[in-house]
Structure 1
Amino acid sequence: MEILPFIMFAAVFLLLLLGYPVALTLGGVSVIFGVLTFGFDFFALLPLRIWGTMTNYVLLAVPLFVFMGVMLEKSGIAEKLLETMGMLFGRFRGGLAIAVVIVGTLLAASTGIVGATVVTMGLMSLPAMLKRGYDPELATGTIAASGTLGQIIPPSIVLVLLGSILNVSVGDMFVGAMVPGLLLVFLYLLYITLLGAIRPGLMPAIPVAEIRAFKGGTPWRTVIEAFVIPFTLVIAVLGSIFAGIASPTEAAAIGAFGALLLTFFQRKLSFDVLKSVMQETTWLTSMVFIILAGASAFSLVFRGMHGDRYLSEMIVQANFQPELFLAIVMIGVFIAGFFIDFIEIIFIVVPVVAPIFTAFGVDLLWVGVLLAMNLQASFLTPPFGFSLFYLKGVTPKEVTTGHIYRGIIPFIIIQLFMLVLIILFPELVTWLPDLLSGR
């Protein structure tokens, strides 16, 4: 009996590596082991468990944030931001790369949809960077890394899901991730600036004639329009959460409605656009929730077979210290990110390790932000990094997969360095929530 939960766990990972669909693998394996262990009475428990997940008020934020992100993608805000920021920083060496990082940050705080951000920036900025003599590896690495910032900078679907599973307030997760997220952006900018000083040939400045042409028009009006729109939405969503005016779910509704209004004022709203956004939102939300249903079945069976208790006993008997267990989990999640999606890792691994962290007395808010930072790297790590796939789909023929893989390495190293900083200095996560709550 003690080994059955671990056989089930191994079976799920094996089937995922063989390419079977995540939701069906989780649900199917769970049903088979559930019937073998509990008999057909298992089917009386499963619907109640799934229903409880589907009626979770916190998870209602997922489709709302997805709608907000997809709608903003259609509004053309990203294009205007990229063009404006490129000209503002163009006279500096690495100015275009700096602009891409800043735009990625703003889009992360206003959309959080990785695929849309990477594709948009790939289509808009990569041809311009290559035309101006940027090294393909630097250009693709910067775009892919900047496009994934939406996983750590709130509002983030990853933070919503982690908060729900760890039973930590999503608002606290958002607040706790702000400082690490912005510090990661600073490290990206620092790397690009230093590289521009050391190896200027990798990133030439924009010709003076182009910048003069930009300034010859109405630059400040363009800058204000490009910045005010996304900042207004960010302040409305995150400001209402941080001020305690709205819950994350209510703030997500504000964001969805705000994105609709902004698209209307940009004169981009039409029936076809609305239909397209609703279809994409339905598809993405359905994918998340069907996986969540399978994960609920997996968690029910795993705990029903006392898998969490056996795992805890094994760790206690092995005399693991909390620090060693944390290191094992972080390394395991990082390696798993090479092969499976972040949603799968959240729904399979996190419910198993969360009770053990609780038993050790570890701050789950800190663990949640650590996991979010770690999972962000899963978008960038070959061979199955989704950001790399998104970017490759829109790159010119002269940009190879090798360029993308080599270009992302420095940014993965920066993310791992940031992960170590959070482990060494938990105050990076806890300081802002404590300040806002008055603790």
Structure 2
Amino acid sequence: MTDPQIALLMLGLFIFMVFLGFPIAFTLMAMGIGFGYYAYFDGARMWRGFNRLDETATWWDSTSLWIDGFFNNRIFDLFVNQTYTVMSNEVLTAVPLFLFMGYIVERANIVDRLFTTLNIASKNVPGSMGVAALITCALFATATGIVGAVVTLMGLLALPAMLRARYDPSFASGIICAGGTLGILIPPSIMLIVYAAASGVSIVRLYAGALLPGFLLVGLYLLYVVGRSILQPSAAPRPKDDEVPDVPKLKLVVMIMTSFFPLAFLILAVLGSILFGLATPTEAASIGALGGIVLAFAYRAMTFQRMRESVYLTVRTTAMVCWLFVGSYTFSSVFSYLGGEHVITEFVTGLDITPLQFLLLAQLIIFLLGWPLEWSEIIIIFVPIFLPLLEIFGIDPLFFGILVALNLQTSFLTPPMAMSAYYLKGIAPPEIRLTQIFKGVMPFLFMVFLSMAVVYLAPQIVFYLPEQIYGR
């Protein structure tokens, strides 16, 4: 077999092992070191050593040559260097800080106050409880970036309230599932930090570019919720007087000031300091983590147990992301050295496709990968395969990254592997069937595809803010 064929075998074996359920990070490292040992093996050096042995050589001299030949392989140097590179990456330093901020905010008992306040404030809007749930999901998802936590917490808080208000179970479930995934796209998104580290695109430009597409998607979601509530009142009945209390305006203002504004201010402070160059993402994430702790103390929700849980979850998730990077960097280095990347580039360019067709093909592959894989694995392992092809087709990596971020919403919403639906089913009342949840997320899935089409047809939605703030 030629080296490029071995590279393709390496990729095929990795995909096969993933589907068997092996841990992805350690599978990448094992594949990288195993095939890298072959790729970097210097048999001639060992043979020259044996030729220098004479009749006076002892068995230990021969054994030493075998040991030296076995361990003196550049793959081990590569693995150590890649590990150090990942652990010292300044962009990735922001990941644990943003995660810690999210886990602290999740435990600060903010969400129940926020949902109650927004429900009262929007009671005259069609589908008011759905609108309140969606805005709460969007704000909470933006602050945490942890899909499972947002869907689970909002499922425990908002879903029972919406069912008591006689909302259609599918409609209510779809709102929570779709709203919980928005943290992947809307800054300060951890997914965008990981993409920046994988692609070399400036994280501040990514954040600026993701803002308007994020608001576009939220707007489409809200438009669907309000529109369906008007066209099908039985799916979202107007609340009765005893279900949503009348609150004096002054008290309502106080409720908004104590529930909505603290979290919104924290998000805007972190995001604004990054976008306007007042702080690096790592420094802003540090302030965000500190702000999360202050909020938890202000709401009297900070305990030693919650702090310990937040630290533990932060360390566990960060370790997963970093070891994925180590494995991916090692795997991709060996894959490229064997000529696999060149084979893929030649194959794609040989198809004689247009940039639009390439984008559709790439997004279709990412869409299908979203069924068995998490977003972190897709960004770290598979997206770098497409990155060298972007220059060939004249596609801006910033634009491609935003399309990927939009596309990854679908990985949590597409049956049969819609993880948001499974998160919600785990805590939903027994009478809520999984098929009902799947039915509820389908319209929101259509909204994601619609937003991707709008972004492609009007790319200035992505480029406007980065160009206005940072220039071309």
Say whether the fold is shared (TM-score over 0.5): yes
1:26 matched residue in structure 2: 28
Q: What letter matches 2:30 in structure 1?
A: G
| Equivalences for residues 117-136 of structure 1 within 5 A | 117-136=150-169
| Equivalences for residues 103-142 of structure 1 within 5 A | 103-142=136-175
- Distance (whole Å) between structure 1 residues aligned to residue 202 and residue 195 of structure 2: 10
1:2-47 C-alpha deviation (Å, 9 max, x unpaired): 2222222222222212221111221222222212222233122111
CA contact (8 A) 2:147 2:180 kept: yes
Q: What letter matches 1:432 in structure 2?
A: L
- Distance (whole Å) between structure 2 residues aligned to residue 266 and residue 399 of structure 1: 33
| Equivalences for residues 49-88 of structure 1 within 5 A | 49-88=82-121
Deviation larger for 347-356 or 204-213: 204-213
Deviation larger for 192-201 or 297-306: 297-306
- Distance (whole Å) between structure 2 residues aligned to residue 160 and residue 36 of structure 1: 34
User: What residue ranges of structure 1 are gaps of 5+ in the alignment?
Assistant: none
From 75, 84, 90, the counterpart of 2:123: 90
2:262 equivalent to 1:229: yes
1:195 matched residue in structure 2: 228
Measure how far apart 1:167 and its partner are.
0.6
In terms of Rg, which structure is larger? 2
From 28, 35, 53, the counterpart of 2:37: 35
- CA shift in 2, pair 1:24/1:383, >3 Å: farther
Measure how far apart 1:317 and its partner are.
2.7
Measure how far apart 1:213 and its partner are.
4.4
2:390 equivalent to 1:357: yes
Measure how far apart 1:417 and its partner are.
1.0
- Distance (whole Å) between structure 2 residues aligned to residue 218 and residue 314 of structure 1: 65
CA contact (8 A) 1:78 1:107 kept: yes
1:293-335 C-alpha deviation (Å, 9 max, x unpaired): 2112211111111222222122223323222221110111011
1:135-165 C-alpha deviation (Å, 9 max, x unpaired): 1110111000001000000011110011111
Measure how far apart 1:283 and its partner are.
1.3
From 207, 214, 217, the counterpart of 1:181: 214
1:152-195 C-alpha deviation (Å, 9 max, x unpaired): 00011110011111110111111100000000000001111111
2:361 matched residue in structure 1: 328
2:18 matched residue in structure 1: 16
Q: What letter matches 1:352 in structure 2?
A: I
- Distance (whole Å) between structure 1 residues aligned to residue 417 and residue 23 of structure 2: 15
CA contact (8 A) 2:325 2:380 kept: yes
- Distance (whole Å) between structure 1 residues aligned to residue 422 and residue 442 of structure 2: 15
Q: What letter matches 1:241 in structure 2?
A: I
Measure how far apart 1:217 and its partner are.
8.8
2:462 matched residue in structure 1: 429
1:196-218 C-alpha deviation (Å, 9 max, x unpaired): 11111011121123434444992
From 316, 341, 366, the counterpart of 2:399: 366
- Distance (whole Å) between structure 2 residues aligned to residue 38 and residue 71 of structure 1: 46
Q: What letter matches 1:156 in structure 2?
A: S
CA contact (8 A) 1:108 1:154 kept: no
From 275, 279, 283, the counterpart of 1:242: 275
1:382-432 C-alpha deviation (Å, 9 max, x unpaired): 233322222111101111111111111111111011111112221110011
Deviation larger for 139-148 or 99-108: 99-108
1:349-408 C-alpha deviation (Å, 9 max, x unpaired): 111110111233321100111111111211122233322222111101111111111111
1:342 matched residue in structure 2: 375
1:267 matched residue in structure 2: 300
- Distance (whole Å) between structure 2 residues aligned to residue 412 and residue 111 of structure 1: 22
1:394 matched residue in structure 2: 427
From 6, 9, 24, the counterpart of 2:8: 6
- Distance (whole Å) between structure 2 residues aligned to residue 402 and residue 23 of structure 1: 33
- CA shift in 2, pair 1:438/1:296, >3 Å: closer
User: TM-score under structure 2 normalisation?
Assistant: 0.90
1:274-309 C-alpha deviation (Å, 9 max, x unpaired): 111111111111121222221122111111112222
1:56-95 C-alpha deviation (Å, 9 max, x unpaired): 0000111001000000011111111111111222343311
Q: What letter matches 1:331 in structure 2?
A: L
User: TM-score under structure 1 normalisation?
Assistant: 0.96
Q: What letter matches 1:153 in structure 2?
A: I
- Distance (whole Å) between structure 2 residues aligned to residue 420 and residue 201 of structure 1: 31
- Distance (whole Å) between structure 2 residues aligned to residue 343 and residue 113 of structure 1: 12
3-state secondary structure, aligned to 2:244:
helix
1:302 matched residue in structure 2: 335
The alignment's C-alpha RMSD in Å is 1.5
Deviation larger for 178-187 or 401-410: 401-410
Q: What letter matches 1:33 in structure 2?
A: F
1:233-279 C-alpha deviation (Å, 9 max, x unpaired): 01210110111111111111111111111111111112222111111
**Matched pairs, number:** 439
Identity of aligned residues (%): 37
User: What residue ranges of structure 2 are gaps of 5+ in the alignment?
Assistant: 42-72
Deviation larger for 239-248 or 20-29: 20-29
- Distance (whole Å) between structure 2 residues aligned to residue 438 and residue 291 of structure 1: 34
